[in-house]
Each structure stands twice: as C-alpha cells, then as structure tokens.
A and B are shown apart, each in its own frame.
Chain A
C-alpha cells in the first residue's frame, strides 16, 4: 500500500514537472502573443494541479488526515486563470489588431473589444 502511494505521488509530481516545463518552454518558443497564451495554461492547470494532487495524496498517506485545502486552491485557480487569459487576449486585440486584421466575427458581426462607434476610432 505504501509503495502504491509513493508511486502515485511520484507520478503526479513528474506530471506536474513535465507540464510546468512544457508551459515554460512554450512561452519562450511560441512567436506571437495569441499563441503564447496557450502555453502557460498547461502550467497553471495540469502543472499546478499535479503538485496539488501529490500533496493531497501525501497528506492522506503520511499525514494525520486527508487535506482538502488543495481543492480550494484548484478552484480559485480555475476561476481566475481564464479571466487573466481573457484579459491578455483582449489587450492584445485592443492594442495590436484592427478590425480588418481580425477574422470575421461570425453571426454577431463584430468583435466585442472592437465594437465601438465609428467616430471614436483612431
């Protein structure tokens, strides 16, 4: 049983490290902001998640009781990380893109960030 937990914890940690590495590498490697946005998401979700799962498993196996604090951390991360990404994307569109450089916006007709009355443009 002990060995099982040790293996489990190790697997979680390796997964976390791997995704953290991939995320960081992607941040360096990818070329433009919109692509780069994808890389750190791996690190925040699977990377941090792996560490948290390892921590929970460790607390259950070796500690006095099962810890669920880590779930709260996951919850807050899942709540905040998408918003950060959303804002970075919006800032990019706002500052670097124009209406013409953006792909068509589908049935809505306009991208929200660029949805301004014409007089205010420029």
Chain B
C-alpha cells in the first residue's frame, strides 16, 4: 500500500466514528478499528521489503519553493514505530469500546483517537522535516483533545492545557531547530540531512540547533525538567493514557532523537546533554513512582523513568546502546500498555485507583492479576520476560560508560534507579493483589468481560514471547530499526536471556534484592517522604503561567479596552507618526500638473459637502440628524462621480447609499436618539487634534498626488485597450469586475455572503439568549405612530416594485457595454424589495417571501463558481470568459457573454446579502402584536368601519 494512503487513512477514518455513532457504539468502534486495521495491513505489506533492508519512498512536491514537500519514507525505525502506533492503536480501540461508559460520547473519542493516530503515523513516516513539524504540532493539538476528553473534570481540562502548553512550546523551539538544521544542509529532506553528519557537526550552528531540537524532544518525551505534564495528563480516560504514554505521544520525542541520531549524536555535547538528562529523569521518575498511591500516577512516573532510560541509552552515542534503546522501546510499549490497561480495569471494577484502599484482589480478579503480574515482573526486569533483556543491556552499557572521568557515576545511578524500578513494580503486585481480602472496596470487584482483558492479555503474551524467543520474534525488527538509527554497520548483539555471569547480571541481582528490601521498608520510607518538603510542579507551573497571563493581559488591556474611540485614536496616531517619518525621510517631486479652474457646479457641491460635514461635527450627538447629514454627503459624492464621468461609480454609490441609510436607520432603532457627553474636555481636545492633523495630512497627500503624474504607467491603458477585444464589453468598469479582476469579484461576493451570514448568526445567538426577553418587552422611547403602514406608501410601493425590478433588469443586461452591471442591479432589486418591507411591515412581507435569502446568496456564489469552472471545459483557466454574437430573425443582432452569467451570480449574492441583513435587523426589532394580516392599516376598500368605531 502506498505510504500516502497509510498516512492518510487514519485522518480519513476519523470522519466515520463521528458520523456512525448514530448507528450505535459498536458501529463507531468498528469503523475506527477497521481503518486502523487497513492501515496496519498496508504497513505489513511493506514490511518484507523493509526487513530486507530496502527503504520505501513516496514523494509529492507540495510547496517546493518553501522546501515543504509531502515526502514519506519507510525504513526500519519507521516500520517499528508505525507498527507500534497502529498495532497498539487497534488494541486500544478494542479496549476503549468496553472501557468507556454509556455517558461518554464515544464517536468523539474515536475521532480524536484516529486524528492523533494519523498525526503520529505522519511523524514517523515523514521524509521532510517541515512536514514532520506539521504532524508534530498536530499530535500536540489532538492529544490536547484526548487528554481533555472528560471536559467536565477540572483535572482533565487543566491537564490538557498543561500538556498543550509544554509540548506546544517545545514544538516551537523545535521548529527553530529544524529550520537551522535545514539551513545548514540546504535541504529539508530527512534522507538528505541524514547523510551530512560532518557538515552539521562542524557548523557553528550545531549547538543551537541541537539544543532547540532537544527541547522539542524533551518536552514531548517528558524529560526532566519538563516531566511534570505527564502525570497530570493522567486525568484522561485510561485508554488514552495507555495509548499516549506507552506507545505513541511520549515516544515521539524518542523517535526524533533516534531519527536524528546519525547526524546529531557522537559529540560530547550530545552525550552530556542527552545522557545526563536521561539519567536524572530515570532516577527521579523511579523514586517518585514508589511513593505514589494512585495507580495511574505510579505508572505515569514509571513511564517518565523508562523514557529517561531510553533517552540515556540514546545519549550514550554508542551503537550497541542504540540497539538497546530500540529494543527497550518495544518492550516498554508492550508491558506499559498492558499495565495501564490493567490499572484501568481495576479502576473500572473497584471504582478506585488508590493503592491504600486496595489489596487482596488476586482472589477476586484472577485474570487481571495474571496480566498485571507478568507485566510488572517484566517492568521490574525479571527473567524470562522481555523487560529483563533490555534492562540487562542497559546495565551492561551503563557499566562501560564513564561520566566526566568517573567510571562509577552512571553505573551507580543506573542500579539505584533499577532498584526503585523493581520496588515500585513489586509494590504494584503486593499492595494491590496480594495480602488479605478486604471488605471495604468501594465496589464489588470482579474480573471484567473478555472485551476488556483481551487486549492486555495479548500484550502480556507478547511480553513472554519476546522474553523467551526474542531472537526469532523481534530480532529482525530490532536489527533493521537499529540499523536505521545507526545508519551504518550494525555491531554484534544477541538478544538472549543468558549471557553468563556478566557485571550486568550482578547489578540486576542487586537491584531486585534491593527492590524487595525497599518494599519491606516502604511504610517507613513513605512517612519520611510525605513529611519532607518537595517542590510541587503544578504550583510552579501555574504561578509561572499566571504571571505570563497577567503580563500579556496588561499589555492587551492598555491597547484593547473595548472602546472603538481608543482603537481608532491609536491607529490614526500611529499612521500619523509613520507618515511623518515617511514625509521627513522621503522626497516629493515637483508638481507637474496645473491646477484646473473649478466651475460653478463643483463649487456648489463643495460648499454642500463642507457644510454637511461641518454640521455632522456639530450635531453628531443627535444620531438621526447625523445620519441624514451622512446621506447628504453620500448624495454629493455620487453626484460628483457623475460629474467626473464615472457613471458606474455614481450608480453604485447612490444605490449603496440608499441601502446603507435604510439599514443604519434600522440599527439606530436600538440606540438612544442622543449620545451623551461622556469623555472629559481634555480627551475630546486630544481627539480633535488627532483628527485635524490626520485630516490635513490626508488632504495634503491627495492634493500632492493629484498635481503630479504617476511615476509608473498605470494599468488603465491596458484595460482600455483590451476591454472590448478581450472581454467583449465596452463598459471597462464592468469588464474589469467580471473579467480582468473576476477572481477578486468572486472572492468579494463570497465575503459579502459570509458577512451577511455572520449578521444572521449573531442575530440568532442574541435571540437565543436572555436578551430576547428584553427585546420582546422593550418600550419605545417615544410614542408610536398609529398608522405605521399608510395607504399611500403601500400603494405607491406596489406600483414601484415592478418598475424598479424592470430598471434592475435593464441595468443588469446593459451592464457589459454601458454603465450598470450585476452589483448595481442587485442593489436596485434589493431596494425594490426593501420598499415592500418598509411599507407593509416586516412580518407581513416576510410571510409573502417564500425563498430563503441564504439560498439566494448560496446560489449566487454557486452560479459564479460554475460559470468560472465552465472555462475548464474549453481547456481554459478558471474564470476565462467567452463572448459572441447571435442573430435571431425578428430581433436585432445581440451579444452574448459568459460574463453575464457570472454577473448573475454577483446579482443574486448582493440581493441575498442585503435582504438577509435587513431581515436579521428586523427580527431583532420584532415584538408581539406587530403581525398584521393586512398590507395597510387603513383600507377604504375593506369593510372594517365597525371595528374602527369600536376602537375609538
């Protein structure tokens, strides 16, 4: 199966559980399992070739200009990790089906799980570090959803946020590191980077790149000092913990270190940073784990400790240590997933995870006991289980490694950690399962159904099988995976239980004996531990985050306090400042154009404009008057467009003006008629200064612009020359809209539609809230009119409607060659309908309006898109227009153009958007009693004289 498909399958499959949950929980689980199984089979089909030592590649150039290509490759390491992710994923899907309760939304769970799985598979298959980063961030996001799955629990939400904050910020550091790495090599392809070890290690940027990449890996793999997020992520449902913390999420960091091992490892910097961090994490995790009473917390810290172990092995930088690391990755995944599942079973059946409340469960839950026993002994490093083999290899390697010249430091601490590791493993068995049966369990414990224990049972079967027949079962896989990590000749190694009386065996023996001793001393040690002061990671994290939040809030509040006046003051003042800088540092050329004589008409228009704006400034607190004055300004502007030979603009301006004023009148309905004076005089004076300076500046700029020629030739010449030849229309403005810049127009009608839908959605949201009651009971602030739908208005608008629509049609059809077009026609048609709403009221008109405006907007956009795509049929690019001439016998010859169809789309989108906005605003104003069955209040033709008399 193609690697593209393997990587894409989980993402595609993520759709199904969310949809199929309607068909029941089994259907959702089965669909998730089936996609994972398909991807797993696809992976296995590639396995024989990989095991032969081949590297499978799939390449697709995505954004080659950025070096970002969807290249995938599958080598031994990728096979190992993808196998773990998909294989354990399958078991988790089975387990989760029986673990989650009826109240949990299971469709969501599987969708999140598959998204996460897809992101993980993407990481391990990527052959491009930028692509890898994309998947890396996707794991942070999808794990956030999974950890916070129980959103009703505060711990779940806080844990999810913490995990996202830590791994997300680590991811940011890693982006920087990866970019540096790509910069050094000159390619973002992993396969290329992996061949340039000398170049990278000789570069002065090696250390920064190394540190940044390691921060990413350490945060993801919960290495000290970033280990604290992992235990808090235990608030997630157990299947999530089992998946994220055994085989996938936390292993992503290890995967990255293993992947980069050939080029980054082998230097002292690598050794001291990675091995030391790993060592500290291993010891710290093991010690804390012993004193945790929560089963999952114990397992969480043990996971931290084992991750430290693997990190340390990778940090050693020797080939055989890398082999041990790869082997322990497999072993840890098997026994840790089984242990998490067993902890989940105990929690599920006894309703507690507190070790202090458990004990004696071996009688009540024999199957769970068997599973946990084998997995724990493997974790403690006892033969003949797989944990023993890799722990032995680790101790052997530790024995041969010296740190800062001391040969005892690493072996000593490794034994110390192994000792605690054995102790907490034994504690899991002894304090939970052994001992006398108790009578105070929170629930009656019993073994679960097959569905729950089958997955962990299969995993412990693997634990035993790998332990006994390691060379046959995982030998080849470890060889190819380690070969991929090392990137060269494999050292000799043998995966077997008995190596003779090696130092490692004695160390192992010491650890197990010490572990038993520690367990015996546990009650006393535990008291001392609890009495000792310890730094609490969550408190530190929260206070750090709180400080950051307060600081950013301080900055934000200073700039964004919700006052539009302040926003515009800041924006305008800033613009003035940079304009001033530009003015001082730039040079203005000499004026090249003479100033023309102004005629009488422009002067009259100018006087109207100036006095209207002056009155607005004086009277802006009276909102209605201000609106009327704005209308005057709009009228003069459209008249001046007309005077300056821009009839298209004039038509557009005047129709936009009408629609805007009507809609603003509707909105004013909800505001007081007057704006009170609130700001002190000083602030108003400041605002006046800003306004005057900005206004003068803009005026001067425009004057300067108009008295000079363009420094470069304008595009207008091209438009004028090609409008008829290329676009088939003599109205250049319309041809620009529907042809030259058709793509812009297409985008704009979509934006217009979205804006109208947003207004509609806001209305819906407001009407769904408490505000609805207020709106329904709102008292008007001045007395109402007794005759809101007067006879004359109603009759006149009825007469005008067909006339106006005819004008719209006329404007629409002539648009291509004479002033007009879809946009203007749409506005005119909208005005024709607006008049009906105004004359007879919203509810009366709405009852007679059968087509939803959403549909009109949608059909407009679709028609425009379909017209654009029609060009494909002729083998032309999107939105290429065509035109020709037709001659039908009785008619004059006329032109047809596909641009007219596109214009129809514009027309419909405009009509729909305007009307939807009107409808939304009118719905807010609606109050009971406004419904009228008659078009007008007083109708002489209607026989309701009796009713009228009665009212009076």
Contacts and interface: CB of A to CB of B under 8 A. Distances in A.
B786 A86 contact: no
Interface string B144-166: 00000000000000000000000
A79 B952 contact: no
Contacts of A115: 786-787, 951-952
A79 B800 contact: yes
B355 interface: no
Interface in B781-795: 783-787, 790, 792-793
A80 interface: yes
A120 B787 CA distance: 14
Interface in A50-93: 76, 79-80, 82-83, 86-87, 90
A29 interface: no
Contacts of A87: 790, 793
Interface of A: 76, 79-80, 82-83, 86-87, 90, 94, 108-117, 120-122
Interface of B: 783-787, 790, 792-793, 796, 799-800, 803, 937-938, 948-949, 951-952
A113 B783 contact: no
Contact of B799 (A79, A86, A90, A121): A79
B787 A112 contact: yes
Nearest to A114: B786
Contacts of B937: 112
19 contacts: A79-B796, A79-B799, A80-B796, A82-B792, A83-B792, A86-B790, A87-B793, A94-B783, A108-B948, A109-B948, A110-B786, A111-B786, A112-B938, A113-B787, A114-B786, A116-B783, A120-B783, A120-B784, A121-B783
Nearest to B794: A83
A113 B786 contact: yes
Which of B786, B792, B952 has the most chain A CB within a 10 Å cutoff?
Answer: B786
B592 to A, nearest CB: 40
Which of B787, B937, B948, B949 has the most chain A CB within a 10 Å cutoff?
Answer: B787
A97 B205 CA distance: 86
A76 B937 CA distance: 24
A15 B198 CA distance: 99
Contacts of B785: 90, 94, 113
A79 B803 CA distance: 11
Nearest to A82: B792
Chain A interface, DSSP helix/strand/loop, else mixed = helix
B537 to A, nearest CB: 67
A87 B796 CA distance: 13
Nearest to A109: B952
A86 B783 contact: no
Contact of B792 (A86, A94, A110, A121): A86
Contacts of A80: 796
A115 B786 CA distance: 5
Contacts of B952: 109-110, 115
Nearest to A116: B786
Nearest to A112: B787
Contacts of B786: 110-116
A114 B786 CA distance: 5
A76 B797 CA distance: 11
Nearest to A85: B792
Nearest to B793: A83
A111 B786 CA distance: 9
B256 to A, nearest CB: 74
Contacts of A122: 783
Contacts of A76: 803
A90 B783 contact: no
A87 B786 CA distance: 13
A40 B199 CA distance: 90
A60 to B, nearest CB: 24
Nearest to A75: B803
Contacts of A90: 785, 787, 790
A115 B792 CA distance: 17
Contacts of B792: 82-83, 86
Contacts of B948: 108-110
A110 to B, nearest CB: 5
A109 B952 CA distance: 7
A79 B801 CA distance: 12
B790 A112 contact: yes
A76 B800 CA distance: 9
Contacts of A94: 783, 785
A108 B791 CA distance: 15
A72 B803 CA distance: 10
B796 A109 contact: no
A119 to B, nearest CB: 11
Contacts of A112: 786-787, 790, 937-938
Nearest to A78: B796
B608 to A, nearest CB: 16
A108 B949 CA distance: 7
A117 B787 CA distance: 12
Give the 9 A-B CB pairs with smallest separation, nearest first. A112-B787, A115-B786, A116-B786, A109-B952, A86-B792, A110-B952, A83-B796, A113-B787, A113-B786
B36 to A, nearest CB: 69
A110 B948 CA distance: 9
A122 B937 CA distance: 22
Contacts of B787: 90, 112-113, 115
B784 A116 contact: yes
Nearest to B780: A120
Given A90-B787, A114-B786, A115-B952, 5 more contacts: A86-B792, A110-B786, A112-B786, A113-B786, A120-B783
A24 to B, nearest CB: 15
A83 B790 CA distance: 9
B395 to A, nearest CB: 92
Nearest to B800: A79
Contact of B949 (A109, A113, A116): A109
A118 to B, nearest CB: 10
Contacts of B783: 94, 116, 120-122
